[in-house]
Amino acid sequence: MRIRLVLLSFLSVAQSHAATRPNLVLLLADDLGIGDLGCYGNKTLRTPNIDRLAEGGVKLTQHLAASPLCTPSRAAFMTGRYPIRSGMASEFLVGVYLFSASSGGLPTSEITFAKLLKGQGYSTALIGKWHLGTNCHNKSDFCHHPLSHGFDYFHGIPVTNLRDCKPGEGSVFTRGIRLLVFIPLQIIAVTLLTMVVLKYLGLVRVPPLVFFSLLCLAAMILGLLVCFLHYFRPLNCFLMRNHEITQQPLSYDNLMQRLVADAAQFIRRNAEKPFLLVLSYLHVHTALFSSKDFAGKSKHGAYGDAVEEMDWSVGQILKVLDELKLANNTLIYFSSDQGAHVEEVTPKGEVHGGSNGIYKGGKANNWEGGIRVPGILRWPGVIQAGLEIDEPTSNMDVFPTVATLAGAPLPEDRIIDGRDLMPLLQGKTQHSDHEFLFHYCNFYLNAVRWRPRNSTSIWKAFFFTPKFSPEGANGCFSTHVCFCHGHSVSYHHPPLLFDISKDPTERNPVTPATEPRFQEVLDTMQQAVDRHTKTLKAVPNQLSLGNIVWKPWLQMCCSPSGLSCQCDREKQARRASH
């Protein structure tokens, strides 16, 4: 009788877990390397809270970003689809949004997991970085805004954190300024000097109007540069709360503390009903920042300070969940949108990028360092604590996983590339549901990964690879990021083939001489590519030049007149609360 009661009690607990829709807390870092965390082998950065999360849950050691760049990776994360399917993959050099007044963004036809969960009665919030567009046709249509994609609440930055947002931290536009400003000015100066000499020697007659026109052109170029440098920060670096600008320009003072406090308040407001919280960190993308409690405290300068402050914030979220007794009914996911940006080195030689551990490359390329990211999931009593899984998984898998847990049917009118992680996490299957994964560099299919069902090998074939510079470096330091086509890459015929299970550092490609099945493996992968490309449909490119350039009629400003885009309603709100 006692045994029967124990069995009935266990079954009822298991059924209640299965029947209860969990709260979902998704923590997404920006440019964090897999080698930056203690639970992934780092010995000098202090990340006790993220490490505790890993100890209490599952650690994925082959978790992959669907793209090595912010905007396309986040589009894939939100929709469970390769970014090329939604038009969120650029066909030219710039692969992300840089201006708040761009017209491109995640199309309204796309379905995010937030939209699915909202339909199931979840309260939904995104706090932090969005980077998937804002407006389409005017500055208040908010067609790409988080609130148009299933979130009830948004508090954060609509674009991204850039060096240009923090005075004294330099500019991401240095190379562009050199090409578009300094070189034309040099040409104008040489032309003027040549004409003066020739006129002085009496060899040619130069009308004064020519001198005047060239001087006016030089003045105009300089004027545009001054305006750009002066206005970029207030026009593009600002905080929003829902549809309202609350701080323009953005202030970094206690920024992490403000956003985490808001995240905690959202949890408290919704403690009695299911909720989805996406805490999308600005850390550790440059410009780096941290509060006085963390500045100068780590062993890795400003970057280490930012990592340790982010870890503290994870601890604050865990603390609130424990305090409200929500931990056992909350699935927590922690990851990064792509690998560390290894080329982030200041002119003074300070390293502002992270560590990708043993893996080659980093952000903006599909070597393992650019796409292999932390993947930690915890749900006490449902997911076994301390488990480590070395199967290929993707950040696209979050979409079907949370949708299924919330009881939301997956859309049937489109291809969902992600796979439900729960069978793998709960030990119901030992192998990833991804037999093939396709690695895009912006619009271009860069590599393909194959996990054969009857083998321990994990094959990865590159159709092209970036040309690292200087030669022998681990990144494209001369251009700050690697590009995806043209003279910036080396094409491989046949494709460059690695067995990632034996060579995770991608140092030793296999050849027909070292691998008897070389051609068979490549043929199988090519057949998978052919099947995949047949599923792609032509869609408007949201990262075309016309969609990423600055459009003045889309520019948002907290001043009704638009003459002075400066306000600090965040500070006013804090004073009112005190």
Structural contact between residues 25 and 277, judged by C-beta atoms closer than 8 angstroms:
yes
- Our answer to whether residue 131 is catalytic in this structure is yes
Angle, alpha carbons 241-139-243 (nearest 5°):
15
For residue 385, give both structure tokens: 């604590």
> Is 558 one of the catalytic residues?
no
Q: Are 126 and 74 in contact, with CB atoms under 8 Å apart?
A: no
CA distances from 294 to 46, 281, 287, 308 (A): 11, 16, 16, 7
Residue 500 tokens read as 């990632």
Look up residue 478 and give its two tokens: 């001369």
Q: What is the 3 state secondary structure string of 286-309?
A: CCCCCCCCCCCCCCCHHHHHHHHH
Backbone angles phi, psi at 480, to 5 degrees: 75, -30
DSSP 386-446: TEEE-S-EEGGGHHHHHHHHTTPPPPSSS-------HHHHTTS-SS-S-SEEEEEETTEEE
**Alpha carbon 419 to chain centroid distance?**
20
Rounded to a whole number of angstroms, the distance between the first and last alpha carbons of the chain is: 60
Largest Cα separation within the chain, whole Å, is 116
The one catalytic residue among 39, 63, 70, 149? 70
Please, are residues 370 and 339 in contact by the beta-carbon 8 Å criterion? yes
CA 47 to chain centre: 20
Are 373 and 32 in contact, with CB atoms under 8 Å apart? yes
**Of 63, 131, 144, 149, which residue is the catalytic one?**
131
User: Taking phi first (over 0 means left), then psi (-120 to 50 degrees means alpha), and beta for anything else, what does residue 428 get?
Assistant: alpha
**Residues labelled as active-site residues:** 70, 131
